Amino acid sequence: MAQASSIDRAVRASEALCGIARAAFPFTVEHQDEPLRLAGSAMVARGAGTLEAIAKLAPLGLAADSLVLLHVLFEHVVVSAWLAADPDRNLGLWLKREGGQRLAMHNDWIAGNRCYLRQTMSMRPSSRLRNSSFR
Q: Domain segments of the chain: what residues?
A: 1-85, 87-135
Which of residues 111 and 132 earns the better pLDDT score?
Answer: 111
* pTM score: 0.62
Summarize pLDDT for 2-44 with one digit per residue, the tens.
555 777 888 888 888 888 888 888 777 777 677 777 787 888 8
Contacts 24+ apart (CB under 8 A), 20-28: 21/45, 21/48, 22/48
CA dihedral (56, 61, 63, 68) positive or negative: negative
User: Helix/strand/coil (H, E, C) string of 62-98?
Assistant: CHHHHHHHHHHHHHHHHHHHHHHHCHHHHHHHHHHHH
Summarize pLDDT for 33-80 with one digit per residue, the tens.
777 777 878 888 888 889 999 888 888 888 889 889 999 999 989 988
Distance CA 57, CA 68 (A): 11
**For residue 10, what are the contacts with CB-CB under 8 A and spacing of at least 6?**
55, 58
Distance CA 65, CA 58 (A): 8
